[in-house]
């Protein structure tokens, strides 16, 4: 995708250009984590977040998504039995009278509830918002109990795999745009997994729990996962080994073809449906020019209960050096899949609305970018102030206030010191520390001559400008820079 | 403020221009309120919000504010004893082990907690976020249990009234920019109120509760407030009447001068301090060119416990017709004040950081704008899609997918129907319904000739464009429109 890379490369360069101010701006602060497992986001972090979220949301909008917002808490019953083993992580509100409420755990379930409640049969929406999970806070890995999610979903009955392919395209556009390094999107299908479990001899009652074990393959070795399945979950060793043969397979569309020929898998109706859809998906992602980023991976399971079809997960590929250090710790930065049954769970008559969607792992991305900036010692401007209003003499507060109001009214971002008589040096230091590019200076001499001095902080050059031309001159300089 | 009005007038016209699409776009939907007193925000509402918040946040940034974010919940103890009579409205989280937590009630207390916790002595920050209050939901008035706040605050020890005047300037810029109609900012000072209570003969133990009664003067008549003070709160009738003489006073800087001469008030040290600061405040707002918007109003109290100095509240002035219908229901759309003691409450050694700030009543503003749009039957585009990719023939999905990927990769906002073989009319109707301005059409004929048809939805004009020039031509048209 040369065009995409180029385009977003420019966007990213401009982002970095806006973020970075060599002289004296502030470094990303230390993490302020609280005993309750949450944290404040400092101005430095907020700047990074704002830029990254801008890039993500403009991609969602480029694909025609509408915005939607749902409340932070839902009726407790809305969230129960949607998250499998993770349901214990839901925060409940205290019963202070009225309904029992819980903080939302993700943005997908509230979306499905919204569709069912309003009988919406078709919708392409994005949602950026916080979710809350009572996980034991492992601050080191950047996991907090409050975090931001960025979701894009397509609801509606459509021809197979077209929206699913668009979801993969969106993930590629965002990850390319953010320039986090090389990445790969693993794809599988719940029906292929279920078919695989069936033909390997997993009892149907164990499908869910074995699926959970398989889901750990990113973080655990096959040996450990096998041990969990056999020793803890009572799977016969030969069944585990048969699964082992499959889950080590990954590849492109040729692997799909190969699985069609697989003597056992090809006997399973569900698996064949899943394989048929994957074949189509590969056709579409090829047309989208992203096929080389997609890998059919029989080990990909995804933990959540509600997936019914294709599932996917984007991982950053480690550099050779990283791969040697931590071979298993590949980071998932986006994920999603098809959930055709969730909306029906909220409809009194069980009417289904098929859905497919994705979630960008922005918290992980935030910490990667913050880490990069820390490593390179990059500084960030936390304000956007363009002009500082200063005076070298005492008793010029009135002039400074009149002047700054004029700038604000002209839409110019401006600051002054909240002191009656600040020293000129203090004022100029403030500009250097904050990365403010321009200073307007008014003093006795200027007042007498009807001019204002305009100073460039970087070059220290000063020019006198007629008072009435000041705003125009500043706007000219700002538009040129 | 002609310049300000002009500037923001343009911004608002452009906002409306972006929001409005005469042909077939969707009206603002009905309010979807839940039994728990919250609601989902529809795509139509989200568009209005996004534009209004953009205007508010860019004003905050114009004044040099940094962004900050704090968690949705705080330790319960952080919130206790900060909100006076309203403390019962705080949502607590269920005790699931660990600390006792509560959902934040406003953004001011978390800000003060942040400053104390990080020993920050100086900061100008804005914060846009949700807060939660267990009020009995009176949906008619647009009050919900979850709502958005937009706060701007200046913390630090500065020369008097300079930051306070800037807060008033910000409120003026935002309210002028939003063009909601004429408005007025009422200003008072807690020290003047306390001084007034003292010289009127209110026992000191009753200052807080009488202050709460006075705070209701916007919504209740003086007669009812007097009755509450005398009958319910046990104030002597002659004391109430003395208060009554004061709280009916409002005016400009001349009223400040008059109160300096007031035989009773001028005997009170606190009141004199407050009056001195108000005099200075009037000097500064005059320099800012907003004096005619400011009214010294002795009835303004503001409910929250933490205010220590100047307090203010912006109200929209009713049109003559409205004034006749509901003389008392003037709507507060922004408010704030000085709270010099709050940060010290979170510091182990009680170190104080003086603060002053404001909160924009965006929920009220959202509903005013939504109401206006409904009244005028104005339609809103909920997506930003610029180009639709269509085909008049069957079996053109592959071409459509290749084409749309090219557009996305060039940063063009594009959609297609997720159907293998949609009818051309269905595709064109979709564009008209969604307000998409351009359609690119690829069919057998075009494929043969190496061209693409570019159609303007509004004029229905079609031109053939060489396939390789398509992106450039679309970008040209979009930049012109």
DSSP A76-142: HHHHTTSSGGGGGGPPBBP--SSS-EEE-S-SHHHHHHHHHHTT---EEEEEEEEEE------GGGT
Residue B47 has pLDDT above 50, yes or no: yes
Contact criterion met (CB below 8 Å) for B105 and B89: yes
- pLDDT tier for residue A4 given thresholds of 50, 70 and 90: very low
Closest alpha carbon within chain A to B126: A43
Same structural domain, A86 and A206: yes
Write the pLDDT tens digit of every residue in A423-437.
999 999 999 999 999
Give domain status of residue B185, yes or no: yes
Contact A409 B7 (CB under 8 A): yes
Cβ within 8 Å, pair A418-B34: no
3-state secondary structure of B190: helix
Kindly report the length of chain B: 481
One domain, residues A57 and A91: yes
> What CATH number is attached to the domain comprising B344?
3.30.930.10
- Does residue B36 sit within a domain? no
Q: Is residue B455 part of a domain?
A: yes
Residues A161 and A225 in one domain: yes
| pLDDT value for A141 | 57
Lowest mean pLDDT among A312-321, B63-72, B292-301, B423-432: A312-321
Helix boundaries (H) for A2-87 = 2-19, 43-62, 76-79
User: Residue B13 pLDDT more than 60?
Assistant: no
Write the CA distances from B151 to B61, B108, B179, B189, integer angstroms: 12, 8, 20, 20
Residues of A with Cβ-Cβ distance to B422 under 8 angstroms: none
E-strand spans in B34-182? 39-40, 66-67, 73-75, 101-103, 123-132, 146-155
Looking at chain A, which residue has its C-alpha nearest residue B147?
A: A71
Dist CA A185 CA A290 (whole Å): 10
Task: Please say if the pLDDT value at position B53 is more than 70.
Answer: yes
Answer with the one of B347, B376, B405 that is the final residue of a domain: B376
CB atoms B159 and A419 under 8 Å = yes
Q: Which residues of B touch A98 (CB under 8 A)?
A: 36-37
Residue B4 lies in a domain: no
To the nearest whole Å, the CA of B83 is away from the closest chain A CA by 18
Task: Specify the pTM.
Answer: 0.91
Q: Report d(CA A293, CA A375) in Å as an integer.
A: 28
For residue B27, being part of any structural domain is answered with no
Q: Do residue A322 and residue A444 come from a single domain?
A: no
- A405 pLDDT band, cuts 50/70/90, is very high
Instruction: Note the pLDDT of residue B7.
Output: 32
**Is the pLDDT confidence value at A14 over 70?**
no
pLDDT at residue A459, as a whole number: 95
Task: Give A33's pLDDT tier (boundaries 50, 70, 90).
Answer: low
Residue B254, domain member (yes or no): yes
Helix (H) or strand (E) holding A478: helix A470-480
Q: Are B332 and B418 contained in the same domain?
A: no
Q: How many helices (H) and strands (E) does chain A have?
A: 17, 18
Is the reported ipTM for this assembly greater than 0.95?
no
Q: What is the CATH number of the domain that holds A463?
A: 3.40.50.800
User: E-strand spans in A245-344?
Assistant: 250-251, 294-297, 310-316, 332-338
* pLDDT per position as a tens digit, A317-369: 987 777 666 554 557 899 999 999 999 999 999 999 999 999 999 999 998 88
Residue B34 lies in a domain: no
Checking if the pLDDT of B144 tops 50, the result is yes
* B302 and B431, same domain (yes or no): no
- Beta-carbon separation of B132 and A72 below 8 A: yes
Are both B369 and B421 inside the same structural domain? no
Residue A364 sits in the same domain as residue A393: no
How many structural domains compose chain A? 2
CA distance B168 to B281: 10
Domain boundary, last residue among B355, B376, B397: B376
Domain that holds residue A433: 387-480
Whether residue A392 sits in one domain with residue A329: no
Answer yes or no: is pLDDT of A441 > 50.
Answer: yes
Q: Tell me the mean pLDDT in the region B97-114.
A: 94
Sheet holding B123-132, edge to edge: B66-67, B123-132, B146-155, B355-360, B332-338, B310-316, B183-189, B294-297, B250-251
Let me know whether A100 and A183 are in one domain: yes
On whether both A53 and A140 belong to a single domain, the answer is yes
- Domain annotation covers residue B16: no
Q: What residue numbers of A does the annotated binding site for L-histidine cover? A: 106-108, 133, 149, 153, 302, 306-307
Whether B117 and A32 lie within 8 Å, measured CB to CB: yes
Of A345, A376, A407, the last residue of a domain is A376
Based on the domain organization, do B136 and B237 belong to the same domain? yes
Query: Which two tokens mark A173?
Result: 């556009």
């Amino acid at each position: 995708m040369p065009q995409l890379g180029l385009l977003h490369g420019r966007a990213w360069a401009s982002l970095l250009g806006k973020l970075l101010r060599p002289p004296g701006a502030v470094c990303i602060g230390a993490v302020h984590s609280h005993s309750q497992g949450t944290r404040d986001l400092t101005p430095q972090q907020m700047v990074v977040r704002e830029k990254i979220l801008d890039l993500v949301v403009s991609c969602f909008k480029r694909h025609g998504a509408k915005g939607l917002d749902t409340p932070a808490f839902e009726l407790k019953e809305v969230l129960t039995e949607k998250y499998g083993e993770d349901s214990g992580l839901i925060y409940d509100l205290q019963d202070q009278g009225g309904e029992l409420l819980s903080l939302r755990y993700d943005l997908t379930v509230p979306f499905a509830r919204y569709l069912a409640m309003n009988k919406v049969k078709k919708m392409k929406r994005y949602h950026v918002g916080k979710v809350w999970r009572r996980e034991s806070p492992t601050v080191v890995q950047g996991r907090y109990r409050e975090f931001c999610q960025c979701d894009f979903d397509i609801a509606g009955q459509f021809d197979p795999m077209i929206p699913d392919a668009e979801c993969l395209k969106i993930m590629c556009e965002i990850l390319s745009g953010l320039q986090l390094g090389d990445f790969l999107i693993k794809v599988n299908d719940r029906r292929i997994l279920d078919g695989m479990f069936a033909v390997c001899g997993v009892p149907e009652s164990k499908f869910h729990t074995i699926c959970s074990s398989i889901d750990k393959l990113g973080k655990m070795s096959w040996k450990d996962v096998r041990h969990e399945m056999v020793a803890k979950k009572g799977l016969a060793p030969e069944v585990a080994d048969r699964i082992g043969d499959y889950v080590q397979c990954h590849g492109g569309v040729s692997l799909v073809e190969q699985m069609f020929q697989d003597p056992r898998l090809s006997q399973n109706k569900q698996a064949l449906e899943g394989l048929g859809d994957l074949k189509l998906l590969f056709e579409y992602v090829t047309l989208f020019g992203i096929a080389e980023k997609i890998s059919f991976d029989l080990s990909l399971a995804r933990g959540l209960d509600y997936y019914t079809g294709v599932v996917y997960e984007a991982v950053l590929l480690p550099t050779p050096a990283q791969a040697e250090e931590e071979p298993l710790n590949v980071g998932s930065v986006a994920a999603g899949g098809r959930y055709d049954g969730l909306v029906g769970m909220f409809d009194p008559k069980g009417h289904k609305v098929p859905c497919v969607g994705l979630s960008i792992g922005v918290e992980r991305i935030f910490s990667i970018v913050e880490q990069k900036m820390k490593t390179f010692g990059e500084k960030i401007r936390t304000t956007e102030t363009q002009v500082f209003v200063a005076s070298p003499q005492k008793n010029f507060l009135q002039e400074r206030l009149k002047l700054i109001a004029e700038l604000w009214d002209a839409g110019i971002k401006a600051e002054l010191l909240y002191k009656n008589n600040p020293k000129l040096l203090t004022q100029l230091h403030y500009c250097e520390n904050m990365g403010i590019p321009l200073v307007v200076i008014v003093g006795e001499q200027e007042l007498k001559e009807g001019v204002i001095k305009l100073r460039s902080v970087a070059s220290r050059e000063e020019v006198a400008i007629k008072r009435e031309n000041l705003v125009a001159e500043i706007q000219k300089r700002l538009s040129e820079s």
